Structure 1
């Protein structure tokens, strides 16, 4: 196996161009598992850890700017106030060792339907910045993730930054699995009650080939909400959960049945909204 260890972004892009089929490697928490299981045998790796342009967290009044190499541990430590929902999601990812290695860019690039940060990033209308030999382009999460472990990235492009609009209001995430942490989600939800725009933003994970935005549920609860009191009637919250379940398109596999996934995502969507409103 050939391994390139670039120290800047142009060198990394050159390596991807000159080594066709090379796989970018950030934390390695997904790729290394696939290599160990024999599912992937890359001939070349481009290690990204030393590239400064992919690191760092910036915050302004309007935007949260995450370097692609931002780890879950950094999110936990630094973004509890600026992005509480993302910090909640990060806390449930694997063990402390995994959280110290795994990255936001890697979670997006892997594009697993069960990616823990993807529902929150989708609900927040995050923008993913890609850089390649042809220049820079920005994609929304829904545009980037095209299927299970498939993205719209070209082979010679890298995720460099993730730009997230900052919103006011409570937010919460939840997932169902064999245990809360160190487990792949059977179903997951992110709910953000955006008090400035008077919108409820929702992302669903592990219940479709890509993260899902349940737009009918969002529109219904937006209309039902008493925004002055930050309150929604119980029957509206129940209906919200039902509409989230209806938006799901899960599969049955060794971890769960499709019926259970659909039921579970509706239940935790309603509970997650209730938790936001209780805050």
Structure 2
């Protein structure tokens, strides 16, 4: 899955450059706003080069969630992979509200349309971001980040030791330059049998950065695989990152992580690549 392409679509094209086109419909609700109130999870992106519902579900399993929260007071948030964008809205009619979002200094006011129990933004007349009604998200479940000062990374409070099976310590430095320091901490199997390698990633620059897997660069014991990792790191902070290998893709858990070879890509807020870092690991019995 090309996470960078998704991120560019959601944070770049959709919020800075796109033109949203609404489509009308009829709804018998007397309250023009009530049907929109609540949480709306991204369901799919339709059109050429879109993203299927199954791919969206897979991304959600890795913690890569995108959703809208529409509040009663005319405010709300658009959350893309943990990055929150404030919004305001007002009702136009029973099937459409006007949503105003500001991102990177650019403000857009565009329609959000309700049809067949889902809401959607239409993009450039062909693509559409479609959302389904969901439950309010608990942001306390997100991995904690902190300042580099203070030593070891703070543990992820949402993941206790009981969720980590077959733990093997790694404790090696993958990269350390003027931009980032990447440390491999340990590997383990989670409760679903997926293999996870935990990293500590420190942003040593004065820019906000994103670290992700370089698509098509990863192999395990000679087999091409498609692991997932995506973390935002503010300037001068670190984060605890998790590299996920699904059991189906890997053919097992950590016992399959014999010879790992892959690359991480680090980008800035404008999606410019600022560094590529190779990770090699040979698991010894």
Indicate whether the TM-score tops 0.5: no
More helix by share: 1
More strand by share: 2
TM-score by length of 1: 0.24
- The structure with the larger Rg is 2
TM-score by length of 2: 0.24
